[in-house]
Structure 1
Amino acid sequence: MQNYILKYKAHINVEWCNQSRSIKYLFKYVNKGNDRVTVEFYKTTTDDAVVFQDDDTINHVLNRETVGQSMFNAWFVANKKFKETSLLTYIEMPTNFVWKKDIREWHPRKKGFSIGRIFYVPPASDDDKEYIDVINEASYWSTAHSLRKLFVLLLTSTSIIRPENVWNQYVGIVTDLVLTEEEKKNFGLFELEKLLRLQNKSLKDYPPMPIPTIDNSRLVQNHLVFEELCYNHEQLKEDAEVLSSKLTKEQSFIYDIVIQDISANKGGLFFVYGYGGTGKIFLWRALSAAVRCKGQIVLNVASSGIASLLLPGGRTAHSRFAISIAINEESTCNIKQGSDLAELLIKTSLIIWDEAPMMHKHCFESLDRTMRDLLRFVDTHSSTKTFGGKTVVLGGDFCQILPVVPKGTRQDIVSSAINSSYLWDSYKVLRLTKNLTLSSVPNGGNRQALQEFADWIATIDDGKMGGRNDGYAEVEIPKHMLLPS
């Protein structure tokens, strides 16, 4: 009795509907017909069946003569038998060779030309060198967090054959942390585990991948706090000295006030008011370096994603403080007492919030209420202190974008700004007025013209142009500032 091998290929109709109002989808699904299976029989050239016993060793199973090899495996065999196959890739095999189904072998094509179909070879059938090269290439321009996400993607897509080998190549890439090699590995594993948990998976699902240990006191602590403390303090100290030496008198005045407030733990509130080009970002960088080089935590946030990219370690305010999208006068941030984010805020020394005027006042008030509540366990008087007693510096220009109020009137927009909040009376307003972009322009007529134009724009911003007005005024543009048609 001859053996027959049953090969099946399932045709399963899988559809995705992302609109509940797509009624015709329901009718199409009802009338689509049954799922179908294509069955194919072919005659074997041996009497051995494709079975093995439970107690067979792996070597015995792998080394035994198989009844029918796959197209891919047969391609390797053909490379040994035919010289011309060395010039063909696996995809190009059907152009010059014919697949003999009955004997499961490739044979040279004798006549004609055909574009054949070959079976898909999963990436896991290859080695992992390609993925190691991809990660190494991405390391030149990508962040460590993005590299970890890439590695998790490769893990969850089962693309890697031996993930532990790729991991060993990947560890050395993260060099921006002041840690030992063992601590780097442990920290990276913690971060990978955190990303995998978002997909209901764990490193335990991918043996023999290593698992993060918890016997290291520097890594047991809150991972958010750990990230903020992993800066190179020596490098930051050098940066702080260089940046502080380049500050203008206005910037130095603000810099000294903020640093003194942090040192005295006064928990002051400051608003740095300056239009574009006055050096607010440069001041934020100097303050961040000066505080972080002492091993203290600075949280740099901005009201928009683009502005946050200019800040060292910047994040959007909504992301960092878990501020609700739909917000009102009674809202609080989605931060639970005892959580990692709560501990981070408790240990923070300075909060810098750029582009503050474009954010609704309820966002600041929400964070204020949350921090007063979170800090009550470390300071019994936190409920009476703005932002729980933390030093907070806001910056921006009220002449630029104000909070967006859908269908709101001018009064609605003005009343939603930060200077209409109950917090505003506690802020000390500090000003930057010198346009630093002009410092790079050599002395001469061009610089004088640019200074005149900058002063004219600033006068309009301050509402001083056009005489006394209620917000509306006619401004005549000087003729020498106009470009002729």
Structure 2
Amino acid sequence: MTVNGVTYSTFKDSAQMRGLLQQDDYVKQCLEEARSVKMSSSFRRLFVSILVFCQPTTVRQLWDEFHPCMCEDYAREISSNHLIINKLLLEIRRLLHQYKKKLDDFDLPSISAEFLEDTTLPRIIEDELSYQISDDDLRSIERLNAQQRIAFDTIIQSIMHNQSKLFFIDGPGGTGKTFLYRSMLAHLRKMGKIIIAVATSGIAATLLQGGRTAHSRFLIPLRPTASTLCQIKKQSELADLIRRASAIVWDEAPMANRYAFESVSKSFQDIMENQIAFGGKTMIFGGDFRQVLPVVKRGSKAKQVAASISRSTFWHCVKIQLSYHGKENNQFRC
């Protein structure tokens, strides 16, 4: 551990002084570029991603140089540098926890003792409660057509009364399903409720505020079967988010395999300790059966239909709302 007569505290420091470790120039260049274009919250997430996936060798040097960029938003509200640094470290700790990592795994400063007992909400829940509601989405409620308004009122009433119902918004592309979802999300989030927005495809997820793919959000197995469960631990922050959620919006549902839904339903039942479908959560599915059905490798048309959500064990409980713009029938049917 001694190099040129100097004894270092770790073998890593010794190896670095001998020039045996890869340099972090590419990491530094990435952070320097991000410093001019990213907000503090995004910069923090980038820094954590680099810690977890790039394994930089000079973590403390990167921290010393770039931590002011990660706490600029805190400095507007807090004048004490001591408080700012500890708040930043708490935030980094939360972000690392998502990857099952700790501050101690990296050469980062320690959190002061008075801040260790942090009682704030988990980051995953704070994110769901901190969405900036668009005025356009709130005003869109007044622009709902008759069919959309029936669906809107029925679903909102079910959520407000905790009726644990399952809904499916059925309509061809361009009939305003996403417009309806965004109106519901804005209305309910304005009331302080947590609504998890997911979609089967990534493109559809980007159209919903806070949207994620269902596989990413609920950790659905890549090849779900009739017996699989989602990889959600009951004591995890994600499980806590699901317990607090008032409803889940799932767009492009007909594209997903029925076993994906059944895996989510069984996982929710376990988390909620409730044997009702999806643990008693209000589920708002949507999509168009006239478009892409689940892809079954070398499967016939019959196998594609058998893999559809309409063949799932809970489908008899789903209320289907037609959302056409035309004059078609607009009644619920079970």
Q: Fold conserved (TM > 0.5)? A: yes
**Residues 361 and 418, structure 1, Cα contact 8 Å, conserved in 2:** yes
User: Is residue 2:144 matched to residue 1:247?
Assistant: yes
CA RMSD of aligned residues (A): 3.5
Aligned to 1:386: 277
How many aligned positions are there? 303
Aligned letter for 2:188? V
Contact 1:322 1:334 in 2 (8 A): yes
Report the TM-score when normalising by structure 2. Answer: 0.78
Is 1:368 aligned to 2:265, yes or no? yes
CA distance in 1, matches of 2:155, 2:306: 28
Provide closer, same or farther for how the CA distance between residues 423 and 180 of structure 1 changes in structure 2, counting only shifts above 3 A.
farther
Aligned residue type for 2:263:
S
Q: Is the 8 A contact 1:131 1:166 kept in 2?
A: no
State the partner residue of 1:278: 175
What pairs up with 1:442-481 in 2 under 5 angstroms?
A: none
Aligned to 2:68: 168
User: Which structure carries more relative contact order (alpha carbon 8 Å, separation 6+)?
Assistant: 2
How far the C-alpha of 1:265 sits from its partner, in A, is 0.5
| C-alpha separation in 2, matches of 1:121 and 1:361 | 47
Q: Deviations over 1:368-405 (max 9, x none)?
A: 122122212xxxxx21x221111100000001000111
Calculate percent identity across the aligned residue pairs. Answer: 30
Question: Aligned in 2, Cα 1:131/1:360: closer, same or farther, shift over 3 Å?
Answer: closer
Structure with greater proportional helix content: 2
Residues 421 and 172 of structure 1: is their aligned pair in 2 closer, same or farther, counting only changes over 3 Å?
same
Runs of at least 5 residues in structure 1 that lack an aligned partner in the other structure: 1-49, 55-119, 377-381, 436-454, 459-485
Kindly report which structure 2 residues correspond to 1:140-219, keeping only aligned pairs within 5 A, or say none: 143=42, 146-149=45-48, 152=51, 156-158=56-58, 161=61, 163-172=63-72, 182=84, 185=88, 188-194=91-97, 197-198=100-101, 202=103, 205-208=106-109, 213-217=115-119, 219=120
1:196 to 1:211, Cα distance in 2 relative to 1, 3 A: farther
Of the three residues 302, 305, 317, the one matched with 1:414 is: 305
Cα offset, 1:135, TM superposition: 2.4
Secondary structure of the 1:156 match is: coil
Instruction: Letter of the 2:56 partner, please give it.
Output: T
CA displacement 1:278-301 (0-9 Å, x = unmatched)? 111121111111111222111111
Task: Give per-residue Cα distances to partners, 1:153-174, cap 9 Å, x unaligned.
Answer: 6772427735134112222269
Determine if the alignment matches structure 1 residue 327 to structure 2 residue 224: yes
Q: Deviations over 1:396-454 (max 9, x none)?
A: 0001000111121211111111111221111111111128xxxxxxxxxxxxxxxxxxx
Distance 1:131 1:191 in 2: 23
* 1:120-148 Cα shifts (integer Å, max 9, x gaps): 99567xxx7x6664222341699567534
Q: Which has the larger radius of gyration?
A: 1
Change in Cα spacing, 1:207 to 1:423, as seen in structure 2 (3 Å) is closer
Query: TM-score w.r.t. structure 1 length?
Result: 0.55
Match of 2:251 in 1: 354
Deviations 1:239-277 (A, max 9, x none): 553221232222222111111111000011100001111
Letter in structure 2 aligned against 1:288:
L
